Chains A and B, each alone.
Chain A
Amino acid sequence: MVKHLIISTSLDLVRIAPESIVYIASDGNYSTLVQTDGEVRMLSFQLGQIEKMITFQLGNEGSVFIRIGKSLIINRSYIYYINVPKQKLILSDVATFNHTVAASKEALKQLKELLEKEVK
């Protein structure tokens, strides 16, 4: 059975499969979760807390996510385009959604190298 990420507060609970998450962005003390179906969900957790949830709940399966800098967690399955000089990262399934996010040049460079290494 596919593991789901469960994000629970005293008032509500979000249960979502990892492949349904495109990225999670930091928004101060909150985080914004962007889903593959286009829905955007505000979470009352800091990004670091969500990273811990992913680690503890998904274990090895959590490695589908990559933390980029202080303000972004992306689903590596949807990395479509990286432009280091323009600090541009496009996350897409090349069919239904296409999200452009920004990251530092250094972080994008490392991400690019990581993906290059994986195909070698």
Chain B
Amino acid sequence: MIQSEKDIQDSEIRIIGNTDVSAPQSRLRFWGWIVLGIALLCFLVGLLLAITADRKADRSKVETYFDPQPVAIVPENSIKHRLGREIDSLARGFCEVRDTMINDIPLRIYIPHNADMFLFVGEMDKSDTTIVFAAQAADIRRDNHEIVGAFVLRGEPLAWGLSKKGYCAIIDGRITIGVADNSPLFEEATEKGGYFFRQYPLVDNGVLCENEPKNKSIRRALCDRNGEIMMVDCSSPESFHDFAQALVDLGVTNAIYLVGSTSYGWAIDDRDVRVEFGVENRHLPKNASYVVWRKK
């Protein structure tokens, strides 16, 4: 018998090198093992997926007594319909404020009506009665108080860079919320006198975006829900993940973060009542920016 092993007995011979009689056999055997290994691996992966799928299916069917899963409480309006009320286009502008609960997270939804959105940099004038909603937009660097990420104000770029992949552009009254490393909307905003800023992405085409910060805080988001633009915040501290999941379950198509925690803002409801959130701070850096809706 021709050996392929390293050890050899006196009764055995083997051809040295890699060819001739024994080599093809050992090579075939080698590839045979490889093919067998891959086939076995595929089978195991398939089996695992099948088991996992079965378990998921079972879990969704079986009601458990202990540790019940929270059920998403989607507002009465179905996901396909608008969340906000139908408002006469000639009515004066205001901000509709709605409260709801998604996945045990209390959410407040602000939906401006008959108002135009724009960005503002500096100290907000609370006495301006034309403003129906204001909330802080881009983050500011703690060290030099510069705006974090690309920012365009009425066509003028105030900051550049990509630290956060979410963006919002307001160009010719059209509001676009999305996620991209590079967006041509930045240039378009500079050319057409529009607005642009960046923030953490939360939802991208209905899919939750994971973010690095894992702490819990009061979260705010600028959302596009099938073309309906709204601001959503949570009144309990939540992680980025849970908050973004609540937005997904709310039916939000695209969402980016707004400055959360104690950052101040307000909405004027249909009874002209000011609904405030956060803590007013008159010592903000001059680069503090806001998303603002002003009555048409």
Contact = CB atoms under 8 A, between A and B. Distances in A.
A105 B11 CA distance: 7
A69 B13 CA distance: 6
B: contact size bracket: 10 to 19
A62 B16 contact: yes
Most buried by A among B2, B11, B19, B21: B11
A55 interface: yes
Interface string A44-66: 00001001001100111111111
A107 B13 contact: yes
Most buried by A among B10, B12, B17, B18: B17
Contacts of A64: 17
A: contact size bracket: 20 to 34
23 contacts: A51-B16, A55-B16, A55-B17, A55-B18, A60-B19, A61-B17, A62-B17, A62-B18, A63-B19, A65-B15, A67-B15, A69-B11, A69-B13, A71-B10, A104-B11, A106-B10, A106-B11, A106-B12, A107-B10, A107-B13, A111-B13, A114-B13, A114-B21
Interface of B: 1-2, 6, 8-21, 23
A65 B14 CA distance: 9
Most buried by A among B2, B9, B13: B13
Interface string A95-106: 000000001111
Given A48-B6, A114-B2, A107 B12 contact: yes
